Amino acid sequence: MKSKIEKEKYIVDQMILIYCKGNRHTAFTPCEKCRELKKYAHKRLSNCKFGEDKGFCSNCPMHCYKPDMRVKIKEVMKYSGPRMLFKNPAAVIKHIIESLKQYSFLK
């Protein structure tokens, strides 16, 4: 079974690919800028201080992304999030459930 971090890396990969296909000119592999963002996101996920107990980065009290990379990943997620419903509906449903769980624990 894949770890939570590995699952998140897979989802980030999918989102970056959707974004790159929709906003750039590559069809099968991400462009150089998107590959750099993917590499950076993987590094941040691998080094997350919360490990397997981590929540979603958007709910995290500690933002480990550099400001410019944070802007880029937010842009990718804003574009790709709705499109993930067609690419990987199960992941979207799991994300919604996990978001609701995290939100209820924060209150």
C-alpha–C-alpha distance, residues 92 and 95, integer Å? 5
- The percent of residues above 90 in pLDDT, for the chain, comes to 36
Taking all residues of the chain, what is their mean pLDDT, rounded to a whole number? 84
Confidence check: pLDDT of 107 > 50: no
Domain ranges of the chain: 4-106
pLDDT, mean of residues 23-50: 86
C-alpha–C-alpha distance, residues 84 and 104, integer Å? 24
Q: What digits encode the pLDDT tens for the residues 52-89? A: 777 677 667 777 889 999 999 999 999 999 999 988 88
Confidence check: pLDDT of 44 > 80: yes
Report pLDDT for 79. Answer: 95
Q: Write down how long the chain is.
A: 107
Confidence check: pLDDT of 105 > 80: no
